[in-house]
Structure 1
Amino acid sequence: MFLLTSCLKGNNERSNTGFGLVDTGGNTMRRLVYSNYEAPMYIASVANDYTIGDGDCIIFNYKLDFDAADNANATTNGFYVATGSALQVLPKGNLSTGTPDTAYMYSNEILLSDAGVTDFLQSNQYRQRLIVGGAPSSYLTEQKNSYTLSCDLSQTPQTIQGVERVYTLFLRATKTSDGKAPAIKSADYTAFDAVQFYSTLSEREKNAGKDRISFCVKYASAFNSDTTKIGTWTTTTPVYIPIYSTEK
């Protein structure tokens, strides 16, 4: 799940839809979109939309022509010029670094049928975001949900599914607004501030001789028999973030 698409046209033009982090940067200090698909991009419709703030994450589409005159000095400028638009501004979340209480059930907590980290984004202004997706087991049209993410930064990494030194994050969801029939199959995406998560664990993993942070997400997938606490936590396949030697 959570796959986004791209299309390469010839050798010098590319279009894509995916996640981006908006921030002011580049050698000309423009508002840019940082993604894992290209170098930073200046997209006028995004840069000039001030309902989108610096540090916001978006789902966006773009078309990039590497041979366009605007991109002749891309290396000097520190960004490409592309066309496109923001399709959605993602809700923000703070990544809690305390020890999660996995026995306690939240008010209006809902179960998830799938979840996972879909992207890690960072800008030249040292903002870092984890994009996390969650698919509710039961989802009605116009239903609104909120997500929390936690990671005990003092935990000892474990070997999980054959991967060494894996940290565990916990994702939980609550319903904030009722929906209406019919039921739908959909996923929600939230952008979590990951500065402390990344800085703490990257330093620890570098000291352990590693070049990446490996982690998995546990999400509530079933209640117990009397619906008083979480009965089942499902664990995702471990993924990793490279430890960058320099900022993007």
Structure 2
Amino acid sequence: MKTTAKFMQDDSIPMIETLAQLRQVLRSLPPDQLERMSAAADEILECYRVLKKGGANIVGEILRGEGTFYEWDHYPEGDIYDNETHAQYYYHAHREGEHGHFHTFLRKKGMKADVTPVPYDGDADWPTAEDEVICHLIAISMDGSGFPIGLFTTNRWVTGENWYDKADVIEMLDGFVIDHSTPSWPVNRWLSAMLVLFRPQIEQLIIARDAKVAEWQAANPDKDVFEEQELEVTSTLDIQVEDQIRAIKEVMQGRPD
């Protein structure tokens, strides 16, 4: 998917928090991007359909056969990594108000060759080996029924990532595709499609992430903002898949608010 340049260039655009704001943003997108978002919506609905027929859900699929569910542990053990796209994810839990959340990443081999992390002169050890350099894209909060309820970004120390500028991270979103069947083909397809369906909101959250980090750094110039334990979640947004899909379909059909 091509990036939406207006989000990357204008930090003043308000976060999409209402259906009216969402429809306004959707109407501004190129037709081909709307088509991709609509196709992602259909993919997500298909994943829900096949899982429901088997009495399963997204979270249940990830935890199937994993034994006791412990906070902080990664599920499945060892994470999920696509050797061709170099996208990666895992599921875990440690936050109130949700069952758990997915963390999504792209590794160095999946990035453009000329993309580099932001300059850093602090004391923390950032990954340096090519097979260890990694960028966190977005986290997806899930409820107890296995459905998504929110999106959020995190500070660098949370995932031990390399920190990339917002424009580079937004461009990396195109690379998040898990194109194999393990541990669950529906989950892999669903997660890949979620980053397309909610692309405008994810771009805004990444922009808000950088703004929050810059704000903290300006207020605390003597601290290493990337390692500041008090700054964990850098931007967050509640979501409803049904509302997102309905708005996309209505805008594509030219229906009024």
TM interval, shorter chain, is under 0.3
Q: Which has the higher helix share?
A: 2
Q: Which protein has greater RCO, CA pairs closer than 8 Å, 6+ apart?
A: 2
TM-score (norm 2): 0.25
> Which entry has the higher C-alpha Rg, 1 or 2?
1
TM-score (norm 1): 0.26
